[in-house]
Structure 1
């Protein structure tokens, strides 16, 4: 039996059992009919991935399913997030018909954008009730960053390549941000989006735990069956004798990041679950996946997420102190139990495993600073050829810019970095402000704001430890859009409350 067929059998067994177990809990968050439709689409898309034996057949079948079912979705971001991780982002070039090399590169993420989000975006543009672009302070930072990156795309002098890059920028960044921020207008829409992301991430978490324990990447063989390089997302990387899992996102750090964001969302969703057992199992599954990622950035990011969530809530000092004591107690316990030292050795700062990765990140900053200073305002498109960065060449003959902020500064200078940071910082300020206001409406809505604040805070830390590759920007752009939707929802509710005396 072919390896990818055996992997499909394992995935079907894991996922179908999972869907059956969580059905009752998820039905408290979204209608059961919606859950069944999402589940059926996930299964169909997975079967298309593993049985099509062609990238284009897989794209066409999945695209047809999305176009067929999208009109049934009242809250499209929920379905978008639920299917976001069903397939690795295998690239497929649209041929240029002999005129140019190729028109564009399509992958699973862009397929979801074009089939699910683009029609919604057109409808939102035409609707008079849609908040205008620029109604949120975050919009201006996003537009400024996009405008700069669009101009810089033509810097190498290739007009065709520049046009492709601009199209990719607006499809990859503006489209998910815009649809997330404008299509969601109430708590129900926010809950659908967060539920879709969390349930999809829980499947990733199951796969991550399986891959780590069994030492088998379930999605590697299917790449070869699709006719692409089986190792395009890297080989079997180990840490302290354990496999670092990839699942569908192609990288263990990316996997850990996705699960950290899901954990942030679940801190809100668990408030809606009636069973303490469901809350515990949900937290345990996501935490287990984060641990199984064997990625130190997400490990620290998850602690920062929980600390941020607590810090802007009631009794913050007492609870943050309790979290700190809990971490110390867990560390002491791990040092006493058999095998605990193995885990401690993988921890950042105090651990001894793979310290070369830590040193590489520190050396990268030192090497990049003179290059940034030389092209201070607008950066350089060929920064990797700089002598200072050539010394960072690794054995695979690549220079890995494992810091998103350094990457932005190298490519687009301090102007780009200020705009990029402005997007995240303005989002945090808006969320913090509106989460306080939400306490007057409904404590649960304030908890949602705290969970979003924590997810953005953790994102800002984790992307300091990794470049914005594969699924990382695919997650944080709509995450920022959801935050804008949250603030708009709070404003709308406060406006309605203010109008009540007039109507009386």
Structure 2
């Protein structure tokens, strides 16, 4: 109990310090985002410090409902809590009957659902073609969980997917009824990146896995473990899993990169990006770096066009060459940057998993096989932790739902990227500035990471909520606070002829 309270207090202090820095970097109109983030963190972790898991989760639900009553901050607070809270879950049972898995994300969702009834009634939530990619992803995950099972399990999976994916997406979409709510949500994503980074840096420097005590407190002993690289702790982050926490941080990093117009100056924007980059370094996961770099390239592609990417790609090639040379020259650098023997062993496992997985997909290409059958056929790949780790998300989708499921899942991400790229000029014309480029960056970031991480619930949920944000940018006029952006970024000219005004 004492260790939980101690960790909670340290996380509160680190988050408060990060939010103080956040408030000094964003425009004055958005300082309340930092204050709200610090307050909700304090109350949420105080609730999780209570002894019994049912009491702690009930307290978290009340905290979420209390803060999300403010519709202007609702979407952002939902995302902030989902991203930053520790990954804790238990299975609700009725006798011997398994009902649903209740997690910290579920508590936030239920609290938000209660708060939504307190909002002033407005226009109903309308879905459009822009929501099809998100629904395609949900459909595939629901099919995998429900296939070849009883009617009771199908009903349970329907409730589970609704609670863990559809309801958060629906509430976030419903709450963003004006431009200020969208900008606020984007800045809450920035705040969550800063909060996770502050804790990750502290975890790595002090060699203190701070989130693990919450699982121990509730008697939930998962497969999370502590790993060192180059003499430094690999910060586990809120998911207590470096690759998955790095994926969350990468998505938030790309959103921060795209939100430059909401900061006081370019220098302030770069300061926050640098801190989040150090947070990514503390997690020591190549997956996070891959997603962050790919996502930022997507943002720049949306901003500059294809021809404007020549210089950034050349610079990136030089940086990668220098980093690779450094890993060859220094064993410590190789360990810190993910090229150690441990990382090589992980890469070998991925190769074996891929070869065996492709073989099984060829045997059942249409809709794949149920997870229980696949795991039985891949028993020789079971690791020391007692699991078969499907670290390739796309391969896992293909194994469990076939090429049809893979087409829906990957196609949803590609469709979101394509739609965001097409909508960027209209969004700029409406005054959204740099936020017009966020959608493509987020989709590219997520698409680049799933070959190296499983389709974890929180990572997928965060991706879908960021899809909802980018859809709101594409569909709403940027009418809101005065001076909420420095100056909308002008769309790049399509050709030299467009860049030069005609002379009569």
Q: TM-score, normalised by structure 2?
A: 0.85
Residue 174 of structure 1: how far off its partner (Å): 1.9
Residue 172 of structure 1: how far off its partner (Å): 1.8
Counterpart position of 1:132: 126
- Deviation per CA, 1:152-202: give whole Å up to 9, x if none: 644333333322111111222222233334432443222111111210221
Task: Show the 5 A alignment for 1:298-309.
Answer: 298-309=288-299
Cα distance in 1, alignment partners of residues 85 and 333 from structure 2 = 30
Q: Is 1:169 aligned to residue 169 of structure 2?
A: no
Cα distance in 1, alignment partners of residues 444 and 323 from structure 2 = 28
SS in 2 for 1:394: coil
- Match for 1:242 among 218, 232, 247? 232
Aligned 8 A contact 2:109 2:168 in 1: yes
- Match for 1:179 among 171, 195, 200? 171
Aligned 8 A contact 2:250 2:291 in 1: yes
- Match for 1:159 among 129, 143, 151? 151
Change in CA separation of 1:5 and 1:104 when aligned onto 2, cut-off 3 Å: same
Cα distance in 2, alignment partners of residues 247 and 48 from structure 1 = 19
Q: Is 1:195 aligned to residue 187 of structure 2?
A: yes
Moved more, 4-13 or 70-79: 4-13
Aligned 8 A contact 1:403 1:467 in 2: yes
Moved more, 408-417 or 115-124: 115-124
Aligned 8 A contact 1:431 1:452 in 2: yes
- Deviation per CA, 1:388-434: give whole Å up to 9, x if none: 52222112221101111111111111221111122111111110011
Q: Is 1:113 aligned to residue 89 of structure 2?
A: no
Counterpart position of 1:81: 79
SS in 1 for 2:390: coil
Counterpart position of 1:8: 8
Counterpart position of 2:423: 434
Across the two proteins, how many residue pairs are aligned to each other? 480
SS in 2 for 1:157: coil
Residue 227 of structure 1: how far off its partner (Å): 3.4
Cα distance in 1, alignment partners of residues 458 and 423 from structure 2 = 28
SS in 2 for 1:74: helix
- Deviation per CA, 1:56-80: give whole Å up to 9, x if none: 1111111122223322232411111
Change in CA separation of 1:143 and 1:85 when aligned onto 2, cut-off 3 Å: closer
Change in CA separation of 1:142 and 1:18 when aligned onto 2, cut-off 3 Å: closer
Change in CA separation of 1:424 and 1:86 when aligned onto 2, cut-off 3 Å: closer
Moved more, 457-466 or 138-147: 138-147
Gaps of 5+ in 2: 481-504
Moved more, 152-161 or 106-115: 152-161
Cα distance in 2, alignment partners of residues 322 and 152 from structure 1 = 40
Cα distance in 1, alignment partners of residues 320 and 405 from structure 2 = 41
Cα distance in 2, alignment partners of residues 211 and 199 from structure 1 = 18
Residue 472 of structure 1: how far off its partner (Å): 1.0
Counterpart position of 1:424: 413
Residue 284 of structure 1: how far off its partner (Å): 0.8
Residue 317 of structure 1: how far off its partner (Å): 4.0
Aligned 8 A contact 1:310 1:320 in 2: no
Aligned 8 A contact 1:121 1:175 in 2: no
Cα distance in 2, alignment partners of residues 18 and 142 from structure 1 = 32
Aligned 8 A contact 1:156 1:381 in 2: yes
Aligned 8 A contact 2:137 2:408 in 1: yes
Gaps of 5+ in 1: 494-504
Counterpart position of 2:443: 456
Cα distance in 1, alignment partners of residues 323 and 138 from structure 2 = 48
Cα distance in 2, alignment partners of residues 333 and 370 from structure 1 = 35
Change in CA separation of 1:92 and 1:330 when aligned onto 2, cut-off 3 Å: closer
Aligned 8 A contact 1:70 1:76 in 2: yes
Cα distance in 2, alignment partners of residues 474 and 315 from structure 1 = 29
SS in 1 for 2:85: coil
SS in 1 for 2:99: strand
Counterpart position of 1:371: 360
- Match for 1:278 among 246, 268, 290? 268
Change in CA separation of 1:333 and 1:94 when aligned onto 2, cut-off 3 Å: closer
Cα distance in 1, alignment partners of residues 424 and 433 from structure 2 = 5
- Deviation per CA, 1:285-326: give whole Å up to 9, x if none: 111111111101111222212222222323754554245325
Moved more, 179-188 or 166-175: 179-188
Task: Show the 5 A alignment for 1:206-221.
Answer: 206-221=198-213
Cα distance in 2, alignment partners of residues 464 and 301 from structure 1 = 11
Cα distance in 2, alignment partners of residues 24 and 72 from structure 1 = 23
Change in CA separation of 1:86 and 1:49 when aligned onto 2, cut-off 3 Å: farther
Counterpart position of 2:472: 485
Cα distance in 2, alignment partners of residues 45 and 488 from structure 1 = 33
SS in 2 for 1:102: strand
Q: TM-score, normalised by structure 1?
A: 0.85
Aligned 8 A contact 1:89 1:108 in 2: yes
Cα distance in 1, alignment partners of residues 354 and 252 from structure 2 = 29
Aligned 8 A contact 2:397 2:406 in 1: yes
Cα distance in 2, alignment partners of residues 334 and 368 from structure 1 = 30
SS in 2 for 1:106: strand
Residue 334 of structure 1: how far off its partner (Å): 8.6
Change in CA separation of 1:333 and 1:149 when aligned onto 2, cut-off 3 Å: closer
